[in-house]
Amino acid sequence: MSQKDKYQLTFYSKIVNGRKYNLCQSSPGDYAVLSFLGSIDKIDGEALIYDLDACISRHINVSDGYLSDPVEYMTIGYEYPNVNINDVLSIPMSDLKELLQEWLAYID
């Protein structure tokens, strides 16, 4: 099972005025906060994966969390071995890394 399916997410594209938008939709509930993936582009996704890899390989938090313009409205905190998202959801770093990889493969 993919992480996308595990966390009840749907990836889809929409064309508005000739411009393509990649979106991530979640089912209502605990995993709804993960819809933030829709605002992550390739560069930001790779940066977040880099941070997660560093945390996972060193078994520590490499920083307090992830900060970037597309997710400035959110708090993404590292709490090895988990990631705390907006104090709503705590998921394993490895799951978020795989979700990001699935998202980047989709938008590529």
CA–CA separation, 49 vs 88, rounded Å? 21
Q: How many CB atoms lie within 10 A of CB 34?
A: 25
The string over 67-101, giving b where at least 16 C-beta atoms fall within 10 Å of a residue's C-beta and e elsewhere, is ebeebeebebbbeeebbebeeebebebbbbbbbbe
Q: For 22-72, how does the pLDDT look when each residue is reduced to its tens digit (9 = 90+)? A: 999 998 888 999 999 999 999 999 999 999 999 999 999 989 898 888 888
pLDDT of 17? 96
The amino acid present at 44, given as its one-letter code, is D
pLDDT of 27? 85
- The answer to whether 75 touches 87, Cβ cutoff 8 Å, is yes
Taking residues 76-82, what's their average pLDDT? 96
